[in-house]
Structure 1
Amino acid sequence: MSALADAPIWLVGCGNMGGAMLRRWIAAGMDPARVTVITRGAADLPAGVRHVHAVPEGARPGIVVLAVKPQQLDIVAPLLAGVGPALLVSILAGVEVAALRARIPAATIVRAMPNLPVAIGKGVTALFADAIETEARAVVEALTVPLGLVEWIDDEAQFDAVTALAGCGPGFVFRFADALAQAGAALGLPADQAARLAIATLEGSAIMASGSPEAPAVLADRVASPGGSTREGLNVLDRDEALVRLLTETLAASARRNAEMAAAAR
């Protein structure tokens, strides 16, 4: 397995997430010539990355990264059935290891769930494998550590929840940023200024939280002086656990959809 450290990589699909991962790999020092991107259409790729429109005949990559839409699995899988990579890494939401193994023979199969900030090396990638050797694990981590935080999940049943929280999470944060800006505009601020203030506030707060030993709940209470304006706002969010209930419902909806996709792929 140690030969995988420099093995050729096939990236099957190169949409928003696959492209973000690829660009980050190259920015982190990966040799572009190591990667072959396989897509049916055009792709905007870093210089030096090979691009083909079909699975190369007779070629045997060490690593295949599957980055198509989950609904395309049964279109792509037959094309890879004879490839037999040593390592298959799939970022298909809701598609379980057993479903992948039934379609694509590979010595080791790893599910990965990255989120969009991997493009700037500040993402989260959750990983799961039902069986993996030390060398293969090291190779997978070498591919994902440049993308940001890496978390191995012990129980595949938790993957739907992880996907809802971290995979879908950036979309929810972006929506929160937009809502915060709209709320500022409703108080009379120019919309463009409110947007800049909201994004900068989120950025600074996230950096502060990530570097603090204190839990976010503690930091929130420290911002809020008794009887002050922050406390008044927090009272709205905390009343009947309104914010917690809203986000719990939000993640539950995403997790349910992940489970539905998993059932469809079995």
Structure 2
Amino acid sequence: MTAIWFVGCGNMAGAMVEGWRKSGFDFSNAVAIRPSGTPVEGVRTVAALPEGPAPRLVVLGFKPQKLNEVAPELRARLGPETIVISLLAGAEAKSLRGRFPEVRAIIRAMPNLPVSERMGVTALYSEDANEDLRTEVGDWIGLLGLAHWCETQAEFGAIGSVAGSGPAFVARFIAALAKAGEGLGLEGDFSLDLTLRTVAGTAAMAQSRCEDMASIARRVASPRGTTEAGLSVLDGEDALQGLLARTLEASQRRGRELAEAARAIDSPPSVA
């Protein structure tokens, strides 16, 4: 791919760039546009949209609330062969197409932060990308981990709640387990290290063995043993499952609110 613009390059877009750099991707024909001018490592960084030909690929990595502010000037700089990849939470395909009607394709992408380590998950959705383009973009995003094309925006939103928001939820679980270890007398940093290794090791084991979580739990928990006693707390009255269901429900609800907010302003001023 050539002539890539990263319009905004905050936490998520920055994590993607980091992962692509680790993959050896060539950024010599890419530019990051950040009004602050804060450099993006490995990518030429400018404070305003560059002059010259329309880019082939634009990655929208700014805050969703700035869409109407950014779109008019950006729209004037894009061409009929430009592909727009949006990382904007809540901005649906129709909303984006209304703001960039002339471009070749609109693709929504919802990555998670582990893309920086090339171990991420990225949901993809488009209503107008053909199979060749889906393969090309999927292969590029696939350098960062799993790239999954969604059939519907509902599926896209569900993946966003589980995988997109998931690292934050997992981080909270890790912190809570480590803190509980401190309560048993372990030194703080050591308890955190133990927890990180336990979580990473369990995930690696599950993936390598293709083993389901119930089976792993059964193998660890001997009858009437210490693990079974702990599991009775997590499983009792559906405590853990109920908590996570409410957590994901809150995440999805907020996603719907963001989408509704974007639809409410779906008549952006036209560009002459």
Structure 1 residues 137-165: Cα deviation after superposition (integer angstroms, max 9, x where no partner): 12211221111111111111232222111
- AA partner of residue 10 (structure 1): W
Does residue 98 in structure 1 map to residue 107 in structure 2? no
> Where does residue 27 of structure 2 map in the other structure?
32
- AA partner of residue 121 (structure 2): V
Q: Please list every run of 5 or more consecutive structure 1 residues that lacks an aligned counterpart in the other structure.
A: 1-5
- AA partner of residue 21 (structure 2): I
Comparing 65-74 and 131-140, the one that deviates more? 131-140
> Where does residue 182 of structure 1 map in the other structure?
179
- AA partner of residue 182 (structure 1): K
Structure 1 residues 39-91: Cα deviation after superposition (integer angstroms, max 9, x where no partner): 101333234x2211111234211000111111111111112112135211111
Comparing 111-120 and 228-237, the one that deviates more? 228-237
Structure 1 residues 167-208: Cα deviation after superposition (integer angstroms, max 9, x where no partner): 100000000000001111111112222111111111111111
> Where does residue 227 of structure 2 map in the other structure?
230
- AA partner of residue 56 (structure 1): P
- In 2, distance between residues paired with 1:144 and 1:57? 27
**Residue correspondence of structure 1 range 89-128 to structure 2 within 5 A:** 89-105=85-101, 106-128=103-125
Which among 230, 236, 239 is matched to residue 239 of structure 1? Answer: 236
- Structure 1 residue ranges, 4+ long, deviating more than 6 angstroms after superposition: none
- AA partner of residue 74 (structure 1): N
What is the TM-score with the length of structure 1 in the denominator? 0.94
**Residue correspondence of structure 1 range 47-126 to structure 2 within 5 A:** 47=42, 49-82=43-76, 83-84=78-79, 85-105=81-101, 106-126=103-123
- In 2, distance between residues paired with 1:22 and 1:236? 42
Structure 1 residues 97-124: Cα deviation after superposition (integer angstroms, max 9, x where no partner): 0000001232111110000000000110
- AA partner of residue 191 (structure 1): G
Post-superposition shift, 1:26?
A: 2.1
> Where does residue 126 of structure 2 map in the other structure?
129
- In 1, distance between residues paired with 2:211 and 2:162? 21
- In 2, distance between residues paired with 1:42 and 1:173? 33
What is the TM-score with the length of structure 2 in the denominator? 0.92
Q: Over aligned residues, Cα RMSD in angstroms?
A: 1.3
Which among 2, 5, 15 is matched to residue 20 of structure 1? Answer: 15
- AA partner of residue 225 (structure 1): S
3-state SS of 1:32 partner: coil
- In 1, distance between residues paired with 2:60 and 2:232? 45
- AA partner of residue 167 (structure 1): G
- In 2, distance between residues paired with 1:129 and 1:113? 12
> Where does residue 8 of structure 1 map in the other structure?
3
Post-superposition shift, 1:211?
A: 1.6
- AA partner of residue 236 (structure 1): V
- In 2, distance between residues paired with 1:157 and 1:196? 37
- In 2, distance between residues paired with 1:151 and 1:220? 28
- In 2, distance between residues paired with 1:34 and 1:23? 16
Query: For the Cα contact (< 8 Å) 1:113–1:163, is it kept in 2?
Result: yes
- In 2, distance between residues paired with 1:241 and 1:212? 27
Query: For the Cα contact (< 8 Å) 1:26–1:46, is it kept in 2?
Result: no
- AA partner of residue 99 (structure 1): S
**Residue correspondence of structure 1 range 144-155 to structure 2 within 5 A:** 144-155=141-152
3-state SS of 1:113 partner: strand
Which among 202, 207, 212 is matched to residue 209 of structure 2? Answer: 212
Q: Please list every run of 5 or more consecutive structure 2 residues that lacks an aligned counterpart in the other structure.
A: 264-272
